[in-house]
Structure 1
Amino acid sequence: MSTQVHPDRQDRIRGPLKFFTVAATVTGVFLIILVCRMILQYIVGVEMPEWATYIAMAHGFAYMVYLLSILVLGPRALWSVGTLFTTALSGVVPFFSFYMEIKRRKEIIAQFQL
């Protein structure tokens, strides 16, 4: 039987977990859009409009926010360096960010009894 997690500790982890969930989802969506754009432009040969360049910049900004969310959540969840690294790496691999976000969220919910 596991011990009960203190309610204050649960409260301190809820906010960063929500921030991480939103950041991972937004990063994953921009990453998929970026990959589709690159396939259309470089493989299919479709000429992309000027605004399509902003997609790459949007993913870069979203990824920085994603890294920030990991740096806020990781120490509070007592993640190891390997866990931090694989979670950070998942923001640059298509569809992996969604998988990793679901996996980490389930781990934290179980660990902190949320």
Structure 2
Amino acid sequence: MTAAPTTELSPKVVAAMKRYRVGAYVVGVGLLVLVLVAMPLKYLADQPLLVAVVGPIHGFLYMAYLALTADLAVKGRWAVAKVVGVALAGTIPFVSFIAERKVTAPLRRRPTT
């Protein structure tokens, strides 16, 4: 029985993948703080300060996430639909974590050069 051929990853793709993984987790945690802590405080406890602080920070981090996604997409030669789906994952709570695992799983199984 022969093993299926594997495509080796270049160091540039591996580095882009690591940056993307960090970005996905940071954006995911920031969005969870915004949605699960800051928004309830604003609307249930009439405390808008945390939304005023966390909201713009999440917006900035999401822009960085988009840049990291684009970087990995170019280096990994993704289809446009995949890029759009992964980019939108940063806007829905918990989905950036799922997208990160799905996107990087095939990449993590390949040997590096």
Give the structure-2-normalised TM-score: 0.86
What is the CA RMSD across the aligned residues, in angstroms? 1.6
Q: Which residue of structure 2 lines up, in the alignment, with residue 100 of structure 1?
A: 99
| Residues 27 and 105 (structure 1), Cα distance of their counterparts in 2 relative to 1, 3 Å cut | same
Q: Which residue of structure 2 lines up, in the alignment, with residue 38 of structure 1?
A: 39
Determine the C-alpha separation between the residues in 2 that align with 1:41 and 1:51. Answer: 8
Secondary structure of 2:10's aligned partner: helix
Any unmatched runs of 5+ in structure 1?
A: none
Give the structure-1-normalised TM-score: 0.85
The answer to whether the Cα contact below 8 Å between 1:74 and 1:84 also exists between their aligned partners in 2 is: yes
What is the deviation of 1:51?
4.7
Q: Which structure carries more helix by proportion?
A: 1
The answer to whether the Cα contact below 8 Å between 2:6 and 2:111 also exists between their aligned partners in 1 is: no
Structure 1 moving runs of 4+ over 6 Å? none
What is the deviation of 1:78?
1.1
What is the deviation of 1:2?
0.9
What is the deviation of 1:48?
1.6
Determine the C-alpha separation between the residues in 2 that align with 1:49 and 1:35. Answer: 13
Q: How does 1:48-67 map to 2 (within 5 A)?
A: 48=47, 50-67=49-66
Any unmatched runs of 5+ in structure 2?
A: none
Identity of aligned residues (%): 31
The answer to whether the Cα contact below 8 Å between 2:28 and 2:96 also exists between their aligned partners in 1 is: yes
What is the deviation of 1:47?
2.1
